[in-house]
Structure 1
Amino acid sequence: MAEKEKQEDYRVEIGGDDSKRSYTPAPAPSVSNSPTMAILSYCGASILMTLTNKYVLSGYDFNLNFMLLAIQNIICVVAIQGAKSMGSISYRDFKMDEARKWFPISLLLISMIYTGSKAIQYLSVPVYTIFKNLTIILIAYGEVLWFGGSVSRLTLFSFGLMVLSSVVAAWADINAAISSYGHDASETATALSTLNAGYIWMLVNCLSSAAYVLGMRKRIKLTNFKDFDTMFYNNLLSIPVILLCSLFLEDWSSANIDRNFPSAQRNNLIIAIIFSGLSSVFISYTSAWCVRVASSTTYSMVGALNKLPIALSGLIFFDAPVTFPSVSAIAIGFVSGLVYAMAKVKQQKVATTSLPVSSASSASMRDGLKN
């Protein structure tokens, strides 16, 4: 009642007795509706997720990647189920028919996150981030083949810059390995074989990521899944497959457990693994938040430009070589993101003036980055 009286005090009556109109000022914008806070939160979540995974996977000869992914998925399911129980979020209940339709997408997701974990295990954060841009190229041309998409000249130019930044990054990495171990041929060969393994895993990750995004986009049309529906089914259906892979493909001997979790760093690693699971929840939430309060074009731009702070954070927090070629690769990658963002804005303007729908690439990027 007091709140109602307070609102009445702010009403302004305009006109005479016959035509009185009341005006109530709009409430102050909340943080939940702030595009700036949503974008900053999404960028922070991306950085935290990448750095935490790098810390766990490459810090102490870690080789239980499937176990890490299983823990992340379990934490994610528990978190969103708890939020649903408290009424904070809502998503559809589990149905076997929908699970069967969505299961192939979950398999593609497992392939994407596992190959990504292997790639970042062998590569530095800046190189991993730069090479991840190549996924955008595969998605764009996948849309051309399967969804009738198109690639503008400006977009094609940004793709060329992305390829160039990847080549420069690989060249910088190889030169750094040779200069660091040039006095020892065996150590140099080991370092180069590690990089080659990382590049192979990165290639497979780019292919599986593009397949996941394109497949999910097509499947969403059949299931009409929303943000948290996708998140729930993706994580829930992935858990049994990842657990089986961990039990049968990974070494669960006590000696290997001790090697993965040395007593001196055991507590820090466990905390980092739990934090990585919470980060996966955070990045899913901030993705949905960013799409809700900002346009899909803005969201695509953030995804493209977010590579710069992630790459720089890798230079700051990890022992990545800081050389002129490596910094140049990051700079070229950032410029490619700017050009790509400009191309998306231009494409969005053309689409809105001709058809009342967003571009196919924006929709695909939105679908892929939601998870």
Structure 2
Amino acid sequence: MADKKNEDYTGKPEHEMRTFNASPSPRRDAAGRGRGPLPLSNITNSPPISILAYCLASISMTVTNKYCVSGADWNLNFFYLAIQSLVCIIAIVICVQVGLITNLAPFDPKKGRTWFPISLLLVGMIYTSTKALQFLSVPVYTIFKNLTIIVIAYGEVLWFGGSVTASALFSFGLMVLSSVVAAWADIQSVLYGSSKGQSAEAAAALSTLNAGYAWMGMNVFCTAAYVLSMRKVIKKMNFKDWDTMFYNNLLTIPVLFICTFAFEDWSDENVHKNFPLETRNSLLVGMIYSGLATIFISYCSAWCIRVTSSTTYSMVGALNKLPIAVSGLIFFSAPVTFGSVSAIIIGFISGIVYAWAKVRQTQANKMTLPTAQPVMSASSQSNRDAASS
């Protein structure tokens, strides 16, 4: 779902998929001579192909989400997210049955009850995300999404005793600047980019933007709350990434279906408005693909880290912001102005600076020597004394 779950906040995945975990074994002819690795192994162990696959999965997910919620009369976001979760769960179950996913634990009701509050936070995150994407262009949405990194970073300082380096602070400043420039360019385009002037149409467009910024602001804090809470609980649960995805999607299905039937209009007239005959089939295909794209992103994330490194994966995530923003200009005719292009470039640079700052911080932590002897338990101290005597 995720990314709908955001890949910006993904740590190193621990999924084990049979295709990826198997080491490439050389083929041999009848005489026992090596004939080189299997062609499939060449693909699954190729860093460039893994990076390309991850980028394409991420871009296609954003573009598909924008397409599905950008209808003029669309107002069934809870239903859309419920279908996403349902498709994702069906795909995971099929992958388990055919042996592609080998380490998914059976559902544990006790763990489900513990994880349920996290799933509620996830519902808030993905719902506000689709609402923001509904009202904002893809480039603006992508740029403002960077602000979540700032909130999460300071949340880690408060909750987990993290730290923020000078380089990270500089990247945060660039993120805020890119967001201000993007909003300014967006508003200028609405007010002065056409012959609308101060007409009722311009006022309506400006109201739409304001709604988008409001939903985006809520999404930033909902995403930070979800990520920080998940980090706090996931260590206690001993979850692998497939377990996290499985519980998240399974537990959100009933919540999303209850919300759609309780809060959304299911009259015949409204259903026909949301699913017009001329685009109904493509919209349903997009919904199904968006659920599968959750699996693709998780799969490609694990693949990219396995054949490259966590550092490369972080840099790819930062660089990927540019093609995602550009895809909005291409597929949805977002206004191309000096301000919008400048905002994209500044946001792109801020992502690179942040990834570079995190890499430097990680390397510095590895090189730091302990300044005090770690505290031992009584039993450990007794064993050590016995061994040294």
TM-score by length of 2: 0.83
Give the whole-Å Cα distance in 1 for the aligned partners of 2:219 and 2:161. Answer: 24
AA partner of residue 50 (structure 1) = T
Farther-moved stretch of structure 1 (33-42 vs 268-277)? 33-42
AA partner of residue 143 (structure 1) = E
Q: Which of 200, 208, 231 is matched with 2:214 structurally?
A: 200
Contact 1:297 1:348 in 2 (8 A): no
Contact 2:27 2:38 in 1 (8 A): no
AA partner of residue 120 (structure 2) = L
Contact 1:227 1:288 in 2 (8 A): no
AA partner of residue 168 (structure 1) = V
Partner SS for 2:181: helix
- 1:229-267 per-position Cα deviation (integer Å, ceiling 9, x unaligned): 111001000100000000000000000001011112212
Q: Which of 133, 150, 155 is matched with 1:142 structurally?
A: 155
Q: How far apart are residue 31 of structure 1 and its match?
A: 2.4
Answering whether residue 315 of structure 2 is matched by residue 301 of structure 1, we say: yes
Answering whether residue 225 of structure 2 is matched by residue 211 of structure 1, we say: yes
Q: Which of 107, 110, 133 is matched with 1:94 structurally?
A: 107
Q: Which of 341, 355, 360 is matched with 1:341 structurally?
A: 355
Give the whole-Å Cα distance in 1 for the aligned partners of 2:65 and 2:106. Answer: 30
Q: Which residue of 1 aligns with 2:128?
A: 115
Answering whether residue 44 of structure 2 is matched by residue 32 of structure 1, we say: yes
Distance 1:3 1:104, change over 3 A: same
Distance 1:166 1:217, change over 3 A: same
Distance 1:87 1:165, change over 3 A: same
AA partner of residue 46 (structure 2) = S
Q: Which residue of 2 aligns with 1:360?
A: none
Unmatched runs of 5 consecutive residues or more in structure 2? 1-25, 371-389
Give the whole-Å Cα distance in 1 for the aligned partners of 2:36 and 2:133. Answer: 51
How do 1:308-319 residues align onto structure 2 when only pairs under 5 Å count?
308-319=322-333
How do 1:27-106 residues align onto structure 2 when only pairs under 5 Å count?
30-90=42-102, 91-106=104-119
Q: Which residue of 2 aligns with 1:271?
A: 285
How do 1:110-259 residues align onto structure 2 when only pairs under 5 Å count?
110-179=123-192, 180=194, 182-259=196-273
Q: How far apart are residue 27 of structure 1 and its match?
A: 8.2
Distance 1:344 1:270, change over 3 A: same
- 1:85-115 per-position Cα deviation (integer Å, ceiling 9, x unaligned): 1111120000101101111111111111100
- 1:174-194 per-position Cα deviation (integer Å, ceiling 9, x unaligned): 000101354353212111111
Give the whole-Å Cα distance in 2 for the aligned partners of 1:3 and 1:330. Answer: 48
Distance 1:256 1:348, change over 3 A: same
Q: Which residue of 2 aligns with 1:14?
A: none
Farther-moved stretch of structure 1 (327-336 vs 282-291)? 282-291
Give the whole-Å Cα distance in 1 for the aligned partners of 2:73 and 2:294. Answer: 23
Q: How far apart are residue 39 of structure 1 and its match?
A: 2.0
Distance 1:282 1:7, change over 3 A: farther
- 1:257-307 per-position Cα deviation (integer Å, ceiling 9, x unaligned): 010111122122112222222222212222233333333332222222211
Partner SS for 1:264: coil
Aligned residues: 342
Give the whole-Å Cα distance in 1 for the aligned partners of 2:233 and 2:312. Answer: 24
- 1:342-368 per-position Cα deviation (integer Å, ceiling 9, x unaligned): 112211211222279xxxxxxxxxxxx
Q: Which of 353, 356, 367 is matched with 2:367 structurally?
A: 353
Distance 1:218 1:184, change over 3 A: same
Q: How far apart are residue 216 of structure 1 and its match?
A: 1.0
Give the whole-Å Cα distance in 2 for the aligned partners of 1:7 and 1:64. Answer: 63
- 1:151-181 per-position Cα deviation (integer Å, ceiling 9, x unaligned): 1111110110000000000000000010135
Answering whether residue 342 of structure 2 is matched by residue 323 of structure 1, we say: no
Partner SS for 1:30: helix
Partner SS for 2:289: helix
Contact 2:88 2:249 in 1 (8 A): yes
Give the whole-Å Cα distance in 1 for the aligned partners of 2:29 and 2:369. Answer: 47
Contact 1:301 1:344 in 2 (8 A): no
Q: Alpha carbon RMSD of aligned pairs, Å?
A: 2.1
Unmatched runs of 5 consecutive residues or more in structure 1? 11-23, 357-371
Contact 2:27 2:37 in 1 (8 A): no
Contact 1:155 1:340 in 2 (8 A): yes
